[in-house]
Amino acid sequence: MASQRDILVRLAHVSLFYEGGVTALDNVSLEVRRGERLCVLGANGSGKSTLASVICGLLSPDEGEVELVGERVCASGAPDLAAYRRARRSLGLVFQNPDDQIVTTVVEDDVAFGPENLGLPRDRIAERVARELHRVAMDDYAQADPSRLSGGQRQRVCIAGALAMEPAVLVLDEPASLLDVRGRSAILRVMGRLAAAGTTLVHVTHFMEEALEANRVIVMDHGRVALAGTPDEVFAQGEKIAELGLEVPFAARLSQSLGLPWTCDETALLDALCKRGPAPKTGTDPAPRKRGAAPLLHTPASNGLEQQGCASPLLKVEHVSFAYGRRGRALEDVSFEISPDTSTAIIGQTGSGKSTLLRLLCGLETPDEGRVIVSGNDTSRRRGRRAARGCVGYVMQHPERQLFAETVEKDVAFGPRNLGCAEEEVARRVTKALEIVGLAERCDVSPFKLSGGQRRLCALAGILAMEPAVLVLDEPTAGLDPRGRAMLRSVLANLRERGVTLIQVTHSMEDAARADRVIALDEARLVADGTPREVFSRESERRLTESGLGIPRALRVARELERRGWPPLGDPLTTDELVEMIRRDSPFISLGR
């Protein structure tokens, strides 16, 4: 039983209401112990971020009591401002969107902002800034302008700033949503070390695997705590998890699909598979499995157009280089071509040049060297850039932040009206766009009353209403819950069937595996270009790992089974493919024994 001094966060019957009668928190009671690692899950709009803001002292509830790091900051809904000021010295927060947190124009100044407000001596501030920038691998960007960094790099700056305050309680709201595989792993390692050192962590996330590292998990639903317990206890309630718009971790989904004992532990799942083993070998070796070809290294003579056998590329990138001031090249001699009616995923570690490349494709930037040709228009000329913007629809990171109108319909109509379309044509385009994204029945609703996933789809509808030939998306699933990600993927598949050319930047190897083609960037250069099966082949696995990327989870499990003695399982890129290949090789599993 924890003593009173060990309870750093106590919420008793807390409720919080937003304007318009929206209940964000509904009678929540919660205690968080010193050194505990608590993970908060829930669908978009379930109250997770509001709970995080209450725990770190940014929001005071309308009802209930709150104690933070020994300070009674709120009683019966009445805040004690002096107690809040004292408590906040020991509280840290990393927002979901780094743009909400960065306050200066120099990275090291931003990291120093918190310690300066604590009144620390200059030498101690400098020591903390250097330590935390190194911890998040941003040493080389100490003098950079945060506005010129990628979304993932800005998120690392925010994390460094929070850590520099050495808080007793650190709240992280989706800290890895914009990070690559390496960056996400690094942040999880940092969180593990902080927890081991006694820092209390409250971690809001949509990545179910991240919750497995916690001591305790709570699941929010409509402002209430719907589930609570250890990770195993919570995820064992698979049907309830699905009802709440979430999913169980990958290992649990795979064990259920294979009829094996339920587990969230990937190592335990691999042990169980190896214990049952593949089919015994016979005197006749099975026919060799077809393996993916080596990914096509980029050269001027090897490009996506020739791979697909098309004669008229829609976009051409010819020996493009681009730099932001004196910070070095964001892109270096990049060339490729994209054909109409295809889907392309662009992958690469944070800062590899992915978002810069998208801005060039949209005509929002012009290359320092080389050319970008969009539907025959050279973007180095003003007329060409204007034509490119009419051809390419650009969905930025967090596009829902551009919503502003009173209703969904008015928001979606803004673009075609600006194009000078007649009202009859505007109505036709709005109706079509809302039907595509599944929001036709919500046309009269305020966009701010939609769920997080629906707001993302509403913003997408606004771009679709301008009827672009090419849709470019920068991390479209970042920050979405599993249900929201599934909705968006379904919409993109629908657009693909309608002939829209799709180009998306993603840190999800599973999303990349769904594309027709994958382009990989590393340190501003194009390093691989081919089909998903080619890019994620055995020959390129080491390169992808060294580049801070990874491979789809299904493929990773297949490789590990082979390392443990199974025969080659081919190149399964999806869970369904992996299940099929495992069942084919193990009659013990296919019979459910």
| CB-count exposure of residue 459 (10 Å: 0-12, 13-18, 19+) | buried
Residues in the chain: 593
136 is a domain residue:
yes
Q: Which pLDDT does position 197 carry in this prediction?
A: 83
Q: Which pLDDT does position 310 carry in this prediction?
A: 41
- On whether both 215 and 354 belong to a single domain, the answer is no
Task: Tell me the C-alpha distance between 517 and 307, whole Å.
Answer: 10
Which of 108, 273, 284, 183 lies closest to 547 in space, CA to CA? 183
pLDDT digits (tens, 9 = 90+) for 405-458: 999 999 999 999 998 999 999 999 999 999 999 899 999 999 988 877 788 899
Is the distance from CB of 506 to CB of 537 less than 8 angstroms?
no
- On whether both 179 and 217 belong to a single domain, the answer is yes
* C-alpha pair distances (Å), 383 with each of 19, 320, 321, 387, 389: 46, 19, 21, 6, 10
Q: Which helix (H) or strand (E) holds 546?
A: helix 538-546
Strands in 71-75's sheet, in edge-to-edge order, are 22-33, 7-18, 63-68, 71-75, 78-79
Q: Which pLDDT does position 182 carry in this prediction?
A: 77
Q: Which domain holds residue 418?
A: 304-536
Query: Which residues, including other chains, have CB under 8 Å from residue 103's CB and lie 6 or more apart?
Result: 110, 113
- On whether both 237 and 321 belong to a single domain, the answer is no
Is the distance from CB of 342 to CB of 504 less than 8 angstroms?
no
Task: Tell me the C-alpha distance between 4 and 577, whole Å.
Answer: 52
Give the 3-state secondary structure of 193-252: HHHHCCCEEEEECCCHHHHCCCCEEEEEECCEEEEEECHHHHHCCHHHHHHCCCCCCHHH
- On whether both 183 and 142 belong to a single domain, the answer is yes
Q: Which pLDDT does position 481 carry in this prediction?
A: 85
- On whether both 104 and 207 belong to a single domain, the answer is yes
- On whether both 272 and 325 belong to a single domain, the answer is no
Please state, as a whole number, how many other Cβ atoms lie within 10 Å of the Cβ of residue 540: 22
444 is a domain residue:
yes
Q: Which pLDDT does position 463 carry in this prediction?
A: 94
- On whether both 282 and 349 belong to a single domain, the answer is no
484 is a domain residue:
yes
Q: Which pLDDT does position 2 carry in this prediction?
A: 55
Q: Which pLDDT does position 587 carry in this prediction?
A: 61
310 is a domain residue:
yes
Q: How far is CA 161 from the centre of its chain?
A: 21
Q: Which pLDDT does position 243 carry in this prediction?
A: 93
294 is a domain residue:
no
- On whether both 383 and 280 belong to a single domain, the answer is no
DSSP letter for each residue of 25-61: EEEEEEEEETT-EEEEEE-TTSSHHHHHHHHTTS---
**Counted domains in the chain:** 3
573 is a domain residue:
yes
The enclosing domain of 17 has a CATH number of 3.40.50.300
297 is a domain residue:
no
Q: Collapse the DSSP code of 7 into the 3-class scheme (helix H, G, I; strand E, B; otherwise coil) and give the result.
A: strand
pLDDT in tens, the chain (593 residues): 556 678 999 999 999 998 777 899 999 999 999 999 999 999 988 999 899 999 999 999 999 999 999 999 999 889 999 999 999 999 999 987 788 889 999 999 999 999 999 899 999 999 999 999 998 889 999 999 998 887 778 888 998 999 999 999 999 998 887 777 777 887 788 888 888 888 899 999 988 999 999 999 999 999 999 999 999 999 999 999 999 989 999 999 999 898 888 899 999 999 988 887 775 555 444 444 444 444 444 433 333 333 334 447 899 999 999 998 766 789 999 999 999 999 999 999 888 899 899 999 999 999 999 999 999 999 999 999 988 888 999 998 878 888 999 999 999 999 999 989 999 999 999 999 999 998 999 999 999 888 777 888 999 999 999 999 999 999 998 878 888 888 889 999 999 998 999 999 998 999 999 999 999 999 899 999 999 999 998 888 888 877 778 889 999 999 999 999 888 888 899 898 999 988 887 765 654 44
* C-alpha pair distances (Å), 104 with each of 126, 161, 479: 16, 12, 24
Q: pTM for the full model?
A: 0.82
- On whether both 346 and 456 belong to a single domain, the answer is yes
- On whether both 214 and 262 belong to a single domain, the answer is no
- On whether both 428 and 327 belong to a single domain, the answer is yes
DSSP state of 371: E
548 is a domain residue:
no
- On whether both 273 and 124 belong to a single domain, the answer is no
pLDDT digits (tens, 9 = 90+) for 458-491: 999 999 999 999 999 999 988 788 888 888 899 9
- The end-to-end CA distance of the chain, in Å, is 42
